[in-house]
Every structure is written in structure tokens, then in C-alpha cells.
Amino acid sequence: MGFFMSLSSHTSGSSSRWKRRKEARPEEILDAALELFTEKGFSAARMMDVARKAGISKGTLYLYFDSKEAIFHALIQQMILPELHKVEDRVAHYEGTAENLLRELLMTWWDTVIKTRLSAIPKLMISESGNFPELAEFFTHNVVQRARKLYIKVFELGVKNGEFKDCDHEIVARLIIAPLIQAAVWKHSLARFDHDYDMQAYLELHIEFIIKGLKGK
């Protein structure tokens, strides 16, 4: 896919300025694309719209990305996967109770996804999965299943330590994640028509319900 193709520079004075601009441009394109996909949806957005949003020509856009699908892949690879890798590393080297780790993971997900523009991606995937199954499959394998494995590991740690009662590990992981996905979808669909609510209180109550349920209390 068309990622970050290089351009040659000719003069030393202008080349350093152009090089800095060239290096910054892919991130600017991704920022513009995410904003556009959030506003219009993936299907309705055109490459020309992305270029206009980023303030560049369509030809320049194609120097970096050859399709909307390539842009979406880059969004996931550059904006979500690095954060997911950090959490995976945290879980792998964690020393402490499963309860505290679970609380930390949920709050981290909330701060890095729900509170940010990345919260649009779950809703985008749900609404566009039928039209773009290959993107839905890519997102499922690279984000959804990896995130689920993290929660399974935390739950298994809790069972091993005697903190949590044992039950179906994958179903537990799905139940932990589901209310967070619902919050993201609501934020980008019904929020403007619905009565607002304290989303931080929503998170805290969800965590308390999950912890008590896993402990069997």
C-alpha cells in the first residue's frame, strides 16, 4: 500500500524546510482523515475530501496513500497499535493484584480512546463493517482480539491469585469491554439527541460492578 513515498530535494536551504514539512505531512493527513471519517463516515468520504481537509492537492495525497483503505490501515497502525503495545508491555511486567491491574487497564482505555478523537473508530467500524469487511477483519485481528486477550490475561491472573471466581474467560473479557464500546458508539451517534450523563461516573460504576461480579459479591 502507498505509504510515505520519498521525494528528492535539490537545494540545501529549501530542502531542510521541505524535509521537515514532508515528515510532518503523513500525520497531518491522518489527522484530517480521521476527522473526515468521523464527520461523514468512511463510505461517504472521498480521497479528494481528505486532501482538501489536509490542505494539500489530491496528487500529493496519493504520494503517501493510494486509497482510503491505506489511510485507515495507517490510522490503526500509528494511532492505536502503539498504545496497545504499551498496555501489553504493562500487563506482561505487572506485579500486583489483578483487581488493581484491571482498574488501571479500564481507566487507560478510557483516557486514550473514549476521551479522545479515537473514540470515533469503534462506531466507524460497526457502521462500516458490512461495506468494508476487509477493514473490519483487519481491525478485529489487530485491535479487538489483542485487547480481549489482555483482559483475559488479567482475569486469569485474578483467578490464579484467588481474587476472582472462575468462569468463561472469553465471555468475561467481552462483558468487561462491551460497556466501553457502547459509550464510544453513543458519543458519536445518539449523544446529541439524548440527555447527557457523567461519563466518568459511568466508567467508575462499570468498574465497581465488574470487580464485585468477578469477586462473587
Could you tell me what percent of the chain has a pLDDT over 70?
88
Give pLDDT, residue 143: 96
- Where in the sequence is the domain holding 32, given as residue range(s)? 12-64
Please indicate, yes or no, whether residues 58 and 18 belong to a single structural domain of this protein. Answer: yes
Contact 40, 23 (CB under 8 A): no
Judge whether 167 lies within some domain: yes
Closest CA to 164 of 97, 107, 88: 97
Please indicate, yes or no, whether residues 49 and 150 belong to a single structural domain of this protein. Answer: no
Contact 56, 25 (CB under 8 A): yes
| CATH code, domain carrying 153 | 1.10.357.10
Judge whether 7 lies within some domain: no
- Asked if residue 6 has pLDDT above 80, the reply is no
pLDDT tens, position by position, 126-144? 999 999 999 999 999 999 9
Task: Give the number of domains in the chain.
Answer: 2
Judge whether 33 lies within some domain: yes
Mean pLDDT for 63-73 is 95
Give pLDDT, residue 1: 45
Please indicate, yes or no, whether residues 41 and 137 belong to a single structural domain of this protein. Answer: no
Judge whether 203 lies within some domain: yes
Quote the pTM value. 0.83
Band of pLDDT at residue 196, cut at 50, 70 and 90: confident
Please indicate, yes or no, whether residues 152 and 201 belong to a single structural domain of this protein. Answer: yes
Closest CA to 120 of 148, 139, 141: 139
pLDDT tens, position by position, 75-122? 999 999 999 999 999 999 999 999 999 999 999 999 999 999 999 999
pLDDT tens, position by position, 153-167? 999 999 999 999 999
| CATH code, domain carrying 32 | 1.10.10.60
Contact 5, 64 (CB under 8 A): yes
Please indicate, yes or no, whether residues 86 and 166 belong to a single structural domain of this protein. Answer: yes
